[in-house]
């Protein structure tokens, strides 16, 4: 099976999102993950808040994580959607707390021994969420996709030049790339590029520190003036993208890694006698998996766009209907006014006819008097 070159690979919308993100300061993966999180929350609060599947997912995760819960406040008109979601979640929390309360032994020693003999050490039902925050799952999916695009196309000349103009990716996303795509042929090139980026940034920070010495305080400040701040993002990532370590335990179980085009899950059924056939099959499955992931992303974007168009059309239709009601009311008023004018005109005609008759009789009477 002939291997596909980067030039032969399809370029989806995410490729161009990453290309544009290279032109902005900071880690492009962090910026795109943050933007995707905002778009996901905006779409959920605007059109999916009453969807049964979404509600069940939010029940299991008890809403959003700390980061995404506070992120929703940046979305315009979020109050109603958040009220609907968290009214439901508070009911579930009360239900779980009730089960925990009922699981405790009675305070009366005699009844406690009678109904819970020897079970005082039993653990209460779990209170925590059953699943991860859905917004985090969505962010993780797009993070994997963007990292896959980066390692896929970093060897392409134009893409490599565009990446060279960027700040590079943060260290934590580089760690994620090495873990999820550790067998990718372009990973050494990406690591080499990042070494250059970190070396350049380190030199800028060293220059900034040097100029803090009073001996060189008179020297003009250059691009290194904010290098200390940029170094924070390039080491720990953008604010709120990565969780804190307050509850981190060494050796704790890692979150499951989403299968990626270059890091497929192990499957004993794929074992073959001929290693070349196995390699060809794996490469084919890897490529198809990558296509499906990127196609899903495109479909999600199209869904968001179509939903926005439908909402705009719905607003136009509603406004047209309201204008139609106003026009009908104005027309009814005009018709009533016209009928009033018509009745008044008929009365005036009758009065004119009566006056004509009186005038005619008066003229006839005067003629008779003249003859006499």
Segment 214-230, tens digit of pLDDT: 787 777 877 888 888 88
Which of the pair, 248 or 19, is modelled with greater confidence? 19
Asked if pLDDT for residue 266 goes beyond 60, the answer is no
Residue 11 falls within a domain, yes or no? no
How buried is 39 (Cβ within 10 angstroms: 0-12 exposed, 13-18 middle, 19+ buried)?
middle
Q: Are 68 and 133 in contact, with CB atoms under 8 Å apart? A: yes
3-state DSSP assignment of residue 341: helix
* 240 closest CA partner among 372, 74, 89: 74
Each residue's pLDDT tens digit, 8-38: 455 778 889 999 999 999 999 999 999 999 9
* 45 closest CA partner among 76, 89, 14: 76
Separation of alpha carbons 311 and 304, rounded Å:
10
What is the reported pLDDT for 125? 63
Q: With bands split at pLDDT 50, 70 and 90, how would you rate the model's confidence at 283?
A: low
Q: Are 92 and 100 in contact, with CB atoms under 8 Å apart? A: no
Separation of alpha carbons 118 and 130, rounded Å:
29
Instruction: Please count the structural domains in the chain.
Output: 1
Separation of alpha carbons 91 and 109, rounded Å:
32
Each residue's pLDDT tens digit, 63-113: 898 889 998 998 888 889 899 888 888 988 888 888 888 776 555 454 555
Q: Which domain holds residue 365?
A: 317-372
Residue 167 falls within a domain, yes or no? no
Asked if pLDDT for residue 267 goes beyond 60, the answer is no
Which of the pair, 212 or 109, is modelled with greater confidence? 212
Please state the length of the chain: 372
What is the reported pLDDT for 109? 54
What is the reported pLDDT for 7? 47
Residue 261 falls within a domain, yes or no? no
What is the reported pLDDT for 116? 52
Asked if pLDDT for residue 189 goes beyond 90, the answer is yes
Buried b (16+ CB within 10 A) or exposed e, 161-173: ebbeebbbbbbbb
- If one counts every other C-beta atom within 10 angstroms of the C-beta of residue 230, the result is 18
Mean pLDDT for 347-368 is 82
What is the reported pLDDT for 250? 47
What is the reported pLDDT for 150? 93
* 147 closest CA partner among 122, 114, 172: 172
Rounded percentage of the chain residues whose pLDDT exceeds 90:
20
What is the reported pLDDT for 278? 63
Residue 202 falls within a domain, yes or no? no
Asked if pLDDT for residue 4 goes beyond 50, the answer is no
Strand partners of residue 260: 263
Residue 330 falls within a domain, yes or no? yes
Those residues whose C-beta lies under 8 Å from the C-beta of residue 237, and which sit 6 or more positions away, are 27, 30, 170, 171, 172, 173
Residue 350 falls within a domain, yes or no? yes
What Rg value do the Cα atoms of the chain yield, rounded?
37
**pLDDT, mean over the chain:** 79
Residue 367 falls within a domain, yes or no? yes
Asked if pLDDT for residue 339 goes beyond 60, the answer is yes
Residue 298 falls within a domain, yes or no? no
Separation of alpha carbons 82 and 121, rounded Å:
38
What is the reported pLDDT for 256? 41
Q: In sequence order, what E strands does the chain have?
A: none
Q: Are 124 and 104 in contact, with CB atoms under 8 Å apart? A: yes
């Amino acid at each position: 099976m002939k291997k596909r070159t980067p030039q032969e690979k399809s370029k989806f919308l995410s490729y161009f999102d990453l290309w544009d993100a290279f032109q902005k300061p900071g880690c492009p993966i962090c910026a795109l993950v943050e933007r995707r999180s905002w778009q996901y929350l905006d779409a959920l609060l605007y059109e999916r808040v009453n969807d049964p599947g979404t509600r069940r997912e939010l029940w299991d995760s008890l809403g959003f994580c700390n980061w995404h819960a506070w992120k929703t406040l940046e979305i315009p008109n979020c109050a109603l959607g958040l009220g609907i979601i968290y009214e439901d979640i508070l009911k579930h929390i009360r239900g779980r707390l009730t089960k925990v309360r009922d699981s405790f032994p009675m305070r009366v020693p005699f009844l406690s021994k009678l109904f819970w003999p020897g079970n005082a050490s039993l653990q209460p039902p779990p209170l925590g969420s059953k699943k991860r925050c859905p917004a985090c799952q969505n962010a993780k999916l797009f993070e994997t996709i963007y990292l896959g695009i980066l390692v896929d196309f970093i060897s392409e000349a134009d893409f490599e030049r565009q990446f060279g103009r960027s700040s590079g990716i943060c260290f934590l996303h580089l760690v994620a790339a090495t873990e999820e795509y550790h067998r990718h042929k372009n990973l050494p090139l990406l690591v080499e590029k990042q070494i250059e980026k970190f070396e350049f940034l380190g030199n800028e920070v060293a220059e900034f520190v040097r100029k803090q010495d009073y001996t060189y305080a008179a020297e003009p400040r250059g691009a290194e003036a904010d290098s200390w701040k940029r170094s924070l993002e390039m080491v720990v990532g953008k604010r709120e993208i990565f969780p804190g370590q307050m509850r981190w335990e060494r050796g704790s179980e890692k979150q499951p890694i989403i299968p990626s085009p270059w890091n497929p899950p192990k499957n004993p059924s794929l074992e073959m006698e001929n290693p070349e056939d196995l390699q060809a099959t794996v490469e084919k499955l890897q490529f198809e998996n990558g296509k499906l992931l990127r196609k899903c992303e495109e479909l999600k974007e199209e869904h968001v766009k179509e939903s926005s168009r439908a909402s705009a059309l719905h607003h136009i239709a509603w406004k047209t209907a309201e204008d139609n009601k106003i026009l009908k009311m104005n027309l009814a008023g005009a018709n009533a006014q016209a009928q009033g004018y018509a009745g008044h005109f008929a009365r005036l005609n009758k009065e004119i006819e009566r006056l004509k008759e009186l005038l005619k009789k008066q003229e006839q009477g005067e003629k008779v008097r003249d003859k006499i």
